[in-house]
């Protein structure tokens, strides 16, 4: 009887102190692809220990046999003139400098900017404050209204100068480097080391921010950005291992930025809410 009364007294005291119910641990990563534990702080891979960059042959340089295997049209015959032709002079280039705005496509609201404050210096994110926006630069011909397969440089990202190029990186759980409809495969927004990758080539084992932090070998592509210089619209184009270029969807989970071939398939595997977004270049003046 005394034991029962003692237990009741303790329970009453705990309840009055607001401690009557034990806290149930909450998994903050439930349903999300991103989690802080994805990036162990004690794993840092030196760039020199990564495999040498593999820059694959561009599609226009593939042989006709290779193009047939990939279902691509044959190259036109090469015309060789005896008279040497002089090519057009190169147009002068200008450097564009600015930030990248993120807009929710469902309601048209600006939700933030590609941030200079990454997840563990491995994966890029967005943040709502313009003061957190990463500064980017790229080159364009004078008078150009658009760019394809552009290379974008990150000026002040916390990933560091070792990874200066904005790129897409193969996702942690992807079984290969391809994205497609009905596939959950996804791509991180991240940073890539020079020399990067050539336009219209499949992902290569170049040094990148995700691999550098986690030690997990993931391929990346850098020169994937199409930019409308009139509207500022930026869209990426990933190239699969067979040379195909699927539609590339943009979506975020939390504030983590992703691209992929099928956001619905991604959501089925990682069932935390997604936000579909667009990218817009906002030109700024140099400091």
Given a cut of 80, is residue 54 above it in pLDDT?
Answer: no
Rg, Å, the chain Cα set: 24
Burial of 235 per CB tally in 10 Å (0-12, 13-18, 19+): middle
pLDDT of residue 148: 97
| pLDDT tens, residue by residue, 26-52 | 455 778 898 876 665 544 444 434 443
pLDDT of residue 50: 41
Q: What CATH class has 95-283?
A: mainly beta
Say what the pTM is.
0.76
CB count, 10 Å around CB of 262?
A: 19
Q: Are 207 and 213 in contact (CB under 8 A)?
A: no
Residue 75: band (very low, low, confident or very high) from pLDDT cuts 50, 70, 90: low
Compute the mean pLDDT over every residue in the chain, rounded to the nearest whole number: 82
Given a cut of 60, is residue 5 above it in pLDDT?
Answer: no
| pLDDT tens, residue by residue, 133-153 | 999 999 999 999 999 999 999
Nearest residue to 174 (alpha-carbon basis) of 215, 217, 225, 222: 217
Scored b (16 or more CB within 10 A) or e, 10-21 reads eeeeeeeeeeee
Q: Are 47 and 208 in contact (CB under 8 A)?
A: no
Q: Give the percent of the chain with pLDDT over 90.
A: 67
Given a cut of 50, is residue 287 above it in pLDDT?
Answer: yes
CA dihedral 75, 240, 250, 235 (to 10 degrees): -30
Residue 8: band (very low, low, confident or very high) from pLDDT cuts 50, 70, 90: very low
Of 56-60, 73-77, 173-177, 194-198, the least confident: 56-60
């Amino acid at each position: 009887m005394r034991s029962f009364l003692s237990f009741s007294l303790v329970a009453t005291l705990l309840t009055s102190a607001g401690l009557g119910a034990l806290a149930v641990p909450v998994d903050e990563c439930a349903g999300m692809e991103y989690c802080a534990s994805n990036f162990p702080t004690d794993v840092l891979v030196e760039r020199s220990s990564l495999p040498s960059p593999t820059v694959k042959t561009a599609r226009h340089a593939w042989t006709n046999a290779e193009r047939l295997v990939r279902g691509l049209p044959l190259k036109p015959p090469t015309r060789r003139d005896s008279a040497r032709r002089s090519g057009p002079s190169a147009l002068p280039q200008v450097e564009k400098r600015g930030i990248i705005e993120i807009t929710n496509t469902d309601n048209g609201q600006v939700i933030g900017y590609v941030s200079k404050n990454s997840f563990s210096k491995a994966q890029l994110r967005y943040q709502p404050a313009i003061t957190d926006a990463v500064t980017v630069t790229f080159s364009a011909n004078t008078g150009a209204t658009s760019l394809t397969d552009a290379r974008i440089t990150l000026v002040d990202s916390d990933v560091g100068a070792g990874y200066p190029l904005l790129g897409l990186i193969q996702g942690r759980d992807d079984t290969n480097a391809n994205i497609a409809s009905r596939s959950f495969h996804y791509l991180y927004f991240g940073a890539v080391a020079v020399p990067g990758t050539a336009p219209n080539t499949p992902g290569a084992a170049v040094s990148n921010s995700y691999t550098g932090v986690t030690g997990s070998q993931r391929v990346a592509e850098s020169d994937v950005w199409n930019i409308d210089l009139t509207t500022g619209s930026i869209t990426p184009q990933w190239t699969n291992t067979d040379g195909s270029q699927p539609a590339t969807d943009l979506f975020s989970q939390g504030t983590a930025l992703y691209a992929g071939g099928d956001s619905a398939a991604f959501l089925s595997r990682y069932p935390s809410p997604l936000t579909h977004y667009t990218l817009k270049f906002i030109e700024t003046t140099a400091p």
